[in-house]
Chains A and B, each alone.
Chain A
Amino acid sequence: MKSVSLGQYYAVKSPIHSLDPRIKIVLAILYIVIVFLCSNLLSMALLLVSAIVIVALSNIPLKIVIKSVKPILFIIAFTAIINIFWTTEGNLWLDLGFAKVYDKGVINALFLMVRIFVLIIGSSILLTYTTTPIALTDGIERLLSPLKRIGLPVHDFAMIMTIALRFIPTLMEEAEKIMNAQKARGADFTNGSLIQRAKALIPILIPLFSSSIRHALDLATAMECRCYRGGEGRTRMKILKCRASDIFALLLVIGFGAAVVCINIFASPFLPF
């Protein structure tokens, strides 16, 4: 259970790690939009190159990046196959008798695969791999802060999120301890019917609930002791600052988006797909 890394944050130093979390959230949203703007061969190729550049810049080992895509490989393969066999546009490539494969179908499938891969890799590297959960919620809070004017408790939401994230590892550790303790008294979580196994969870869930309530009460007391009064008039220890590199990154991605749009408009007539 110790192997579960929360939010996948990978602690290394890189230009992407050091970006302002607010900028990174904006960048990720922009990047996702760009992924869907790409519609021809040239822009797709450019997109692929951009994803490679992002991975290289992030200093995160390729093995880790690939691991994050693994869970969705099946979905990608499934949609690709559907695209290949169900598209009936373009020139006929292959006639297998029971199914016909058109070149447009193959290209569609290819585009789709590239899109999903780049989407997952790009957004996870821009956000979860390179930003700690705490920095992320901080960034979200700051980005949403204009909503305070219409009466939304943005700070409270961010605090709830931060606390929830903070306690996931604690509760996992606790769950492991409780599981071990019940195993030591002969509890068996792996054998038996589904109902038996569900019942076997009761000796874990009840102590876990009681300890999370205990944690919540303790934390509330500790926060009160340190005069926590919500977001009103609260200053920060770490003030987020937009630096030149942040602006540069933003301009880079906007420029990339503009290039993709231009390619879509001007290059499309000259490309086969």
Chain B
Amino acid sequence: MTEKKEYKVIGTRPIRHDGVDKVTGRALYGADFQMTGLLHGRVLRSPHAHARIVSIDTSRAEAYPGVKGVATAQDLPDAEDRIADLGEGAVNLKYLCDNILASDKVLYKGHAVAAVAATSPHIAEEACTLIDVEYEVLPPVLEVRQAMEADAPLLHETLKTTSMGETADEPSNVASHIQHQLGDPEKGFAEADIVVERDFVTGTVHQGYIEPHNATAHFNQDGQLTIWCSTQGAFTVREQVAEILQYPISKIKVVPMEIGGGFGGKISVYIKPVAALLAKKTGKPVKVLMNRADVFEGTGPTPASYVRVKMGATKEGKITAAEAYLAFEAGAYPGAPVGPGAMCIFAPYNIENVIIDGYDVVVNKPKTAPYRAPGAPNAAFGSESVVDEIAEKLGIDPLEIRLRNGAKEGDRRADGPVHPRIGCIETVETAKAHPHYTAPNGQKHHGRGVASGYWFNIGLESSVTINVNADGTINLIEGSTDIGGTRSSIAMQAAEVLGIPAESVNPSVVDTNSVGYTAVTGGSRTTYATGYAAYEAAQDVKRKMIARAAKLWEVDEDNVQFADGEFSCINGKEEQISFRDLCGRLGQTGGPVVGSGTVNPGGAGGAYATHIVDVAVDEETGKVEILRYTAVQDAGRAIHPSYVEGQIQGGAVQGIGWALNEEYIYNDEGTMTNASFLDYRMPTCLDLPMIDAVIVEVPNPGHPYGVRGVGEVPIVPPMAAIANAIYDAIGIRMTELPMSPDRLLKAMGKI
């Protein structure tokens, strides 16, 4: 590991800047928003998973007392197959619009069909029942392999498979096929002494953020549209609403309220354009809130998938070849994260011969949305289970086999990129030496499992402005939604540059009119990229303050140095002034100092994690108890270790839920039968041990302080780690998620 630098602020644990407001209930969330004359909107949703809309008659709803406006897809601008570039890649505008309000077909139960604005939420809800929609019900297809069959019901008559640049002639539910190849897989398997191949199935799971989606929209008389909402990215809301409504971005202001969790699920827009449509129709501000069932049925979960993994190894445990087949459910419209799944699946290993095929397949479920390392957990469940099986069959310790094959700087990932300095090996070594791994594990029906995971992390654009205050503090203006303590982790990077305490930085997350473009809080990018922008803005402040000191002392700027929060003159004069005191003299040295930083950095630096879990299996009921959990992760540099630990714990817990109980349960008609937190079973604190988070620091060369994104990779290893622990406990390989009690009973032959 590289030598640790000495920092004053970085690596400490100050109280988060938004903490007091949140724990005292003062923080303002979207649902808290109030305004004079506010109307309440409600969305009517499809009762069918697949149907053609024959007609929509809104007249009875419009006549209902208290109703001020009704909107349908007819109110959206025509969007025939236009492609919109929304920063994160091209998006088919018709798909985007149809997911907001269905025009010709409904493609999942819960698909938005119409919306009502009324003087109270109850009236809006009642009025929705008065909208007459005639449907021609079509057979739904709810599972990826069935959807890929030639005679499957088609969701989109115009969708044709694209495969490596070629487009098929016939329509299909397979939107695209991707392939990555490295070396000669056939030769690699021929060299293997042992080959393991298994099929895996994972369920549809939701991010489960606690705060439902919300949006309030208002048009001023001059056509200026303002949207107050919960989002992971105010600028992406502005872009999506502009495209959907065909309205200029210069006339849209998005105000991000506090966010009650997102995990990727609050990047896509759902009710924000609807609130805007209703506001336009009624001339009043309109607030639309989802309830929990709306969230489950009407917003994007992460895909269910079918994964097949084949790996070969020599007797000595060298992995010679790997093959993966990934079929992911996109939901109603194309866009499953099969690409990221393919990028991550074998990334913890240096394997010379690899072939990966990925399929993006539409089915009659909500269009999937990002969820923490989207695609990687589905893929890693397969690969990390197979690695475990190879290790077991060869009689090699499962962490030892990871060390023997571990990816290092200079190794090539199957999809192309060469690894820069990474901490894969270091997480495995740390796990292997951890007291958890060396503790006895002998009790009957108890088992221990391990798994590793990778997420590439992203950079993208961020902007930060710093305004220097006369009292030596700074106001830091940023555009990144703070989901996991990033106000603090960003502020601390500016504080480090300027030699001031974290408490002397006042960070604000502001609206789209008040800060430079900033991409979404996603891809584990915020502490990395917006932190980088804060570093640059603070450097800008530092340069300007040096100029002020030089002016004050009448020396050249080259003669002023800055260290530990003190400016001093290094040539001739014996002058010294603190950052704080110089802040008080800005007026007399030229006026206010404002620093800015904008970045679009390329060196995000991938993150690795290795998890250890102990389980107890109740052989009579099939219930799995998590006894002990240790999550080791390379954070590059942990700016605020408490929030790094928080991210690691949160990711591990969401992975535990995914592994054991979480799934969308559908009936034959395509209705989700468990659209509530009662029956969609996320783990509670009573289902979990303390998650022991262990931070490894292998600094990222692509960031001034070595930061790597930390938010996503911790959800990648848990499913396979738990499956491997269950195998250790009862000798059965579980290959379907969730590994719920009934599935365990079946696997054990009890039912």
B is bound to A: no
